[in-house]
Amino acid sequence: MTSTTLNPSFVLPAVPDLRDVALSARLQQRIDQKTKPLGSLGRLETLMRQLGEIQGREQPQLESPQVVVFAGDHGLAARGVSAYPSDVTWQMVENFLAGGAAVSVLARQHGLALTVVDAGVRHDFAPRPGLQIRKIAPGTADMLAGPAMSAAQCQAALAAGAEVLRGLPGNALIFGEMGIGNTSAAALILARLSGQPIERCAGRGTGLDDAALQRKLEVLRGVLARHPGVLAPLEVLTTYGGFEIAQMVGAVLQAAAERRVILVDGFIVGAAVLVAARLRPAVLQRCVFAHQSDESGHRLMLDELGAQPLLQLGLRLGEGSGAALAWPLLESACRILAEMASFESAGVSNKDA
């Protein structure tokens, strides 16, 4: 598969099929020879095999893991679709950088490098370590008035996300996000790409009460009516996305092209992965889905992606926190595959012996 030029600013990378029947068989044999009953480590065994398949080797290793949080504001937030004001976006970026957010704590706990990307926040940040300024514009446009972004802005965001990824070391990634109003953007993307009604795709986001949820749904129905017939993945992203979501799409595509392990967080990151997978289906072979969030549309999102999450903890924070919580499972999978004795090496009788 060759790369396809979408426009001069972004080249859609090739993401080839990873299927290798011989490698998969060797990995399964290695797993089955460990000192345990067949299949007794459950989903962890599936994870071991997937990590080996992503990396193309029988002994996968996780090197220099990265957490990248993309932040952007949304013009639709002015319509009251969130329980919080837009200023929370930039304030939370400062919190990430100061080390006070949940994902900051979890990144420190697990030794994960944290990078925050200003993809389109309505605020000017002072440069500092750990922050990348990739601002496309100070927030997207109001989708009730027109598309969230122009085609040129979408292409620039895709290119910026890919560039961020190319500049980071390692072979494993957690993507997170911050943007007041971005559950609305993710719900609209899901509704258009799945064909499901918006009522199934949109939820309470940051904690809307019943009346506010109904107002949100009314706004989102109005947005869908304003832009009928939008179905192609990049057109959906341009019309309904956020700059942080578009940059994540570019980063996911680049990570997949480089055969990095992508640990997928919740609803908004899932929307970016959904767009990326519609462009390059083999992206999903590189994705491990961390958890099912408490956002009502996330189960539908996971079904659309054919994904089985590792955890279900009732989370709805975003920012990469659910994926950071699941990270030790990936480490455990690699260590068990590398360090757990086989029946032969341990001198333990197998049931078939």
Please, what is the average pLDDT of the chain? Answer: 95
Residue 350: what pLDDT? 87
- DSSP state letter for 282: G
How many whole angstroms separate alpha carbon 34 and alpha carbon 19? 24
**What's the number of CA atoms in the CB half-sphere (13 Å) around residue 205?**
27
Task: Give residue 6's pLDDT band: very low, low, confident or very high (50, 70, 90).
Answer: low
Q: Active-site residue 53, yes or no? A: no
3-state secondary structure at position 287: strand
Q: How far apart are CA 188 and CA 160, in angstroms?
A: 23
Question: What's the pLDDT at 86?
Answer: 96
Dump pLDDT digits (tens) for 7-38: 557 899 999 999 999 999 999 999 999 999 99
Place of tokens 């067949």: 38
Domains of the chain from N-terminus onward: 66-327 (3.40.50.10210)
Instruction: State residue 211 phi and psi, 5-degree precision.
Output: -65, -40
- The answer to whether the beta carbons of residues 39 and 45 sit under 8 Å apart is yes
**Catalytic residue from among 199, 319, 331, 344:** 319
pLDDT tens for residues 297-347?
999 999 999 999 999 999 999 999 999 999 999 999 999 999 999 999 989
pLDDT tens digits, residue range 139-196? 999 999 999 999 999 999 999 999 999 999 999 999 999 999 999 999 999 999 999 9
Share of the chain above pLDDT 70, in %: 97
| Contact indicator for 139, 32 with CB cutoff of 8 Å | no
- Nearest-angstrom CA–CA distance, 153 and 72: 13
Band of pLDDT at residue 206, cut at 50, 70 and 90: confident
